[in-house]
Structure 1
Amino acid sequence: MKRILGWLISIVLLFGKTQTLYAALPENTFLCEETQEKTQERTGEEAEEQLVTGPEPEARSAFLMEADGGQILFEKNSQEQLAPASVTKIMTLLLIFDALDSGKLHMEDSITTSEYAASMGGSQVFLEPGETQTADTMIKCISVASANDACVAMAEHISGSEEAFVAQMNERAKGLGMERTTFQNCNGLDAEGHVTTAKDIGIMSRELVTKYPEIEKYSTIWMDTITHTTKKGSSEFGLANTNKLIRQYKYATGLKTGSTNDAGFCLSATARKDGVELISVVMACPDAKTRVKDSVALLNYGFGICTRYEDKEGLTKKAEVKVIGGVQDKVSGEVTEQFAYTDTNGRNPAEMEKKVTLKKKMKAPVKKGETIGELVYVLNETEVGRIPIKARTAVGKLTYKKALLQTLRQTFTV
């Protein structure tokens, strides 16, 4: 039966009729993902009115933040504990990428599906017991198709059991300051005590997209296929992204939908426009159309009040510090990182001022790359950030022998 469903999905996706297919799939205890809804663009007049009054999402809980600096732009009941459904998978993906980053896991690793993982139900890609897929394919299944079976298979591979993996999820959440979150499973199926908040979802979403930007490669896939290879042979299975914003909102970059009977419809949406990156979260929406509409409204509001400043010039004047007891009496500085700032207070970043502050003097030896001062950024008399100015070269300590040679050179140089 699973193979038949998989075959049907591939055929229907081939003809672009995923909407009909999703309606035909059994819901079990898990709500089917929404059919595609057209997102209407806000008129200029509506957008202008929203900037004055702020968004008014229908979602029971909502949260909007600027991803780079973590500035909160909007909140509605953002600390209310609610069931998150498959938005849970953001933390699952975060731990998967942590394992990749540490070298514990590799993209080409073969992941075996257990009997338990294959039994998950709900949103799935119909992995069979004993079936293997690469970690790369499993990540794709989780990110695009919200596959519960792939989540559990990855959890068991990384931690030995789903229970041990969930303990790591809760530990990671604690470390991020997600104070009102408790996970009971790795895929978001309804379970007593499995709760989080819109704000906490925003926090873990930011950690994932800023620490592991490569997630965007997966979260922006609209349609793709995987190959099931079992004792019964090989067959193709179609994947369709559950996040309709990817097709309906031109600035969308991800991230994860969720819907269950307890949770309603949820979405953590990421988007980028003119260098500004935003994360919006809506929870407990009454239907799929509302979660899309609310997310677009939140993101439009955020882009309307945010302006990005990026300094591509760095130091524009020579920066030097006097060196005491060195083979050279001065050391010049340079900046090795680019400063960027997103303003959310209606100020014009074009009016940004840069001020150089340097140490009065330094004792030799001075190491290359040692901090000799700071480049300070001030906007409308308010400091908004600073980056270090580092020694361009090393300056060695002047010894008696070096001082004598230096004196002789100066004496006999014409």
Structure 2
Amino acid sequence: MRKLTGNANRFFARLICVFLCAAVALTFPFVAECEEGRAETPRAMLLMEARTGQVLYSVNAAEKLPMASITKVMSLLVLSDFIDDGRLTLEEKVKASAYASSAEGSVIWLSPGEEMTAAELLEAVIVSSANDACIALAEHVAGSEEQFVRLMNRRAKKMGLSGTKFTGCVGFDAKGHYTTAEDIAVMTAELMEKEYYRGWLLTWLDYLRGGDTQLLNTNKLVRYYDGILGGKTGTTDGAGCCLTACAERGGMRLVAVVLGCGEDPERFDRAEELLDMGFSGYEKFTPEVDSRKLLPITVERGEYSTVQPVVQDYGECVIKRGRAGSVDYSYTFVEGVKAPVEKGQFLGEYLVTLDGVEVFRSDIVAKEEVRRMNFGMYLLCVLGEMVSF
């Protein structure tokens, strides 16, 4: 074999280096570029399946950060509570106060005393992120923005959003106004369940005041992304360029959250990459339950000697595409229980994992109740044994 020259050795070394760099770039598509690159990595990102709550990808997802106009996702959820219980109708008139009309930033230029329907103002909030419209609605349903913000924080607490706190309903930078990518994903997933918002979430261009006021959707993904359901943008000096977006394909609904981008196009590029990664790399999966594993559990001092365990929750989860054959199942049970046993009482746990990572979990519970044996029951048992003997 002919010995390689020094130039040839250097050539192959450089070739290997190129392949290694390419491999790293493909493996970590969201790693920040060097100082001479074009964009910085967002401050936080997350990809979540909306219906199962499974997180498929995350970076700094629990870090508390400013959210800009993504704040309005919670504002819309609070307004949906008023719509759902009939306290706010889409047809009713809403009068703009002087305070609402003085809002800055993205606005539809409401005049003090001007009236619009709730539907028109909601569309302005959803499509073009109108701050004056949002404040007008908040004052209309709660009396003041301050009272409305209390409702926002109360709802956040009810939803378990421990990393979120609001000081306003539109999203201006302020001390004590923050959220996390995790919490935004949960808020967005619930917002997508509100069917009466869906048309506006997907509206790219519309007009108010007989065509005099243009509404242009700030979420550019509604124009072209396959399966898009909607989302919300946000931009301030403190928050940077932010986006939460939701899309659905083949029964899998994904939420992508991107916070703290340096430039406007980057948030859309990153969100699209996250969604593409989710749809191409994951699939819905329904775990199986082996009834042979669910053996009766002994009941001490009960009217029956055993109780039948059942898996409480049957549902779908998300796994890496093509890996269904590698899923593992485990069943754990209590050693025994004392009567009385309530229907639905905890008896164990059903766990589904893939490569050691949990993808689905459910309690194992009692199928029926088992009452504690009293004297009469004991006597009947004794008599029954005597007769059978």
How does the TM-score come out when normalised to structure 1?
A: 0.67
Q: 1:27 matched to which residue of 2? A: none
2:129 corresponding residue in structure 1:
146
Worse overlay, 118-127 or 356-365: 118-127
Give, in angstroms, the shift of residue 152 of structure 1: 0.2
Aligned match of 1:286 in 255, 260, 263?
263
Does the aligned pair in 2 maintain the 1:226–1:236 contact within 8 Å?
A: yes
Alignment partner for residue 120 of structure 1, among 103, 113, 131? Answer: 103
Q: CA deviation at 1:171?
A: 7.3
Amino acid at match of 2:140: H
Supply the RMSD in Å over aligned alpha carbons.
4.2
Match in the other structure for 2:29: 54
From 102, 112, 117, the counterpart of 1:133? 117
Question: Matched residues, percent identical?
Answer: 28
Secondary structure in structure 1 of the residue aligned to 2:286: strand
Aligned-partner Cα distance in 2 for 1:367–1:252: 45
Aligned partners of 2:71 and 2:59: how far apart in 1?
20
1:205 matched residue in structure 2: 184
Local SS of the residue matching 2:304: coil
Query: Does residue 1:270 correspond to 2:249, yes or no?
Result: no
- 1:251 to partner: Cα distance: 3.4
Structure 1 position 281, deviation (Å): 0.9
The SS at the match of 1:89 is: helix
Describe the SS at the equivalent of 2:308.
Answer: strand
CA contact (8 A) 1:353 1:379 kept: yes
Pair 104,160 (structure 1): closer, same or farther in 2 beyond 3 Å = farther
Contact 1:69 / 1:342 at 8 angstroms: preserved in 2?
A: no
Kindly provide the CA deviation profile for residues 343-393 of structure 1, in whole angstroms up to 9, marking residues without a partner as x: 57x993432222222223222222211122222224345555531122222
Q: Against the structure 1 CA distance between its residues 401 and 286, is the aligned structure 2 distance closer, same or farther, given a 3 Å change threshold? A: closer
Point out where structure 1 has 5 or more consecutive residues left out of the alignment: 1-46, 229-233
Structure 2 CA distance for aligned equivalents of residues 399 and 96 of structure 1: 54
Structure 2 unaligned residues grouped into runs of 5+: 1-21, 33-38
Shift of residue 158, structure 1, vs aligned partner:
4.1
- Tell me how far apart the structure 2 counterparts of residues 48 and 138 of structure 1 sit (CA, whole Å): 49
Q: Which residue of 2 aligns with 1:372?
A: 347
Task: Show the counterpart of 2:57.
Answer: 73
Q: 2:295 aligns with which of 294, 304, 319?
A: 319
Find the residue that maps to 1:61 and give its secondary structure.
Answer: coil
Q: 1:118 to 1:308 in 2, by over 3 A?
A: same
The alpha-carbon distance between structure 1 residues 328 and 80, as it changes in their structure 2 partners (threshold 3 A), is closer
Q: Which has the higher contact order (CA 8 A, sep 6+)?
A: 1
- Alignment partner for residue 171 of structure 2, among 165, 188, 194? 188
Whether the aligned pair in 2 keeps the contact of 1:64 and 1:72 (CA below 8 Å) is: no
Larger radius of gyration: 2
Q: Is the 8 A contact 2:299 2:339 kept in 1?
A: yes
Contact 2:65 2:180 in 1 (8 A): no
TM (norm. structure 2) is 0.71
Instruction: Confirm or deny that 1:336 pairs with 2:307.
Output: no
1:25 match:
none
DSSP 3-state at the match of 1:292: helix
